[in-house]
């Protein structure tokens, strides 16, 4: 029974990695199983809406995966929010946790410092933007292998271990972020960072970076699989 479950979960992974969808034979080859077994797995996944068979006969992820993803994100946020609040209080800036979602950076948890009024910062849960725009998205991209033609900011962030941007998502504000790493264990690409009014010089990287690295360690410890 556990072997069947493992194959079903691996089948979801195989389907998720193919933008073109997979055929019964594709799955059979990937899992090194007979076509009949691959068909039974896909039929079961389709019945639970974890897979959808298109008119071309290929299978793609179904709406059931989206529902589970939303629940996962909600749980992820509940665990991360107290840590992000502590970060905001420590550095006196708006702090956030961002995740990759459908090719964009999505603010999953945001906190304002209790003792400091963050005037002019319009950054809230649910805010999203292209990955290549903003410190949070660039930090996520910097965790990926180097790619030809990637933005220079991504290359720089990969070399430095953090990203700093100015005015990309909000005029007059600067942001800094580090990637959480351990993508396989976290099951999501994510970054943690801060944003404040002013330019990059106002962030004082040497002061903020130790806090971000500490939060990264804390979140990885809380969120990764044992």
Contacts of 23 (CB under 8 A, 6+ apart): 57, 58, 59
Domains belonging to the chain, first-starting first, are: 2-61 (1.10.10.10), 66-223 (3.30.450.40)
What is the Cα–Cα distance from 47 to 45, expressed in whole angstroms? 5
Which structure tokens are listed for 129? 């933007």
Q: In angstroms, what CA-CA distances link 151 with 23, 56, 157, 168, 203?
A: 35, 36, 10, 14, 22
What is the Cα–Cα distance from 91 to 213, expressed in whole angstroms? 13
Contact call for residues 192 and 87 (beta carbons, < 8 A): yes
What is the Cα–Cα distance from 76 to 146, expressed in whole angstroms? 28
What are the pLDDT tens digits along the chain (226 aa)? 567 777 888 888 888 877 788 999 999 999 999 999 999 999 999 888 888 898 888 998 887 776 666 677 777 788 889 999 999 999 999 999 998 887 889 888 999 888 766 555 667 888 888 999 899 999 999 999 898 989 999 999 999 999 999 988 788 889 999 998 876 666 788 999 999 988 888 888 999 999 999 999 998 888 765 5
Whole-model pTM: value is 0.71
CB atoms within 10 A of CB 225: 8
Sheet holding 104-111, edge to edge: 128-130, 104-111, 94-101, 190-197, 173-179, 163-166
């Amino acid at each position: 029974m556990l072997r069947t479950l493992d194959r079903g979960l691996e089948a979801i992974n195989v389907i998720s990695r193919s933008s073109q969808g997979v055929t019964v034979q594709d799955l059979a080859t990937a899992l090194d199983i007979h076509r009949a077994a691959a068909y039974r797995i896909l039929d079961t996944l389709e019945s639970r809406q974890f897979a959808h068979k298109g008119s071309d006969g290929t299978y793609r992820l179904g709406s059931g995966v989206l529902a589970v993803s939303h629940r996962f994100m909600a749980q992820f946020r509940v665990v991360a929010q107290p840590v992000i609040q502590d970060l905001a209080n420590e550095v006196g800036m708006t702090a956030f946790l961002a995740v990759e979602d459908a090719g964009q950076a999505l603010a999953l948890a945001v906190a304002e410092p209790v003792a400091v009024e963050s005037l002019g910062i319009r950054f809230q849960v649910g805010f999203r933007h292209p990955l290549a725009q903003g410190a949070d998205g660039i930090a996520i991209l910097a965790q990926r292998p180097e790619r030809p033609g990637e933005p220079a900011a991504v290359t720089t962030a990969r070399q430095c271990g953090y990203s700093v941007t100015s005015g990309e998502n909000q005029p007059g504000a600067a942001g800094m972020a580090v990637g959480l790493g351990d993508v396989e264990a976290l099951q999501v690409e994510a970054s943690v960072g801060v944003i404040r009014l002013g330019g990059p010089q106002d962030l004082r990287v040497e002061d903020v970076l130790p806090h971000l690295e500490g939060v990264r360690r804390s979140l990885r410890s809380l969120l990764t699989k044992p």
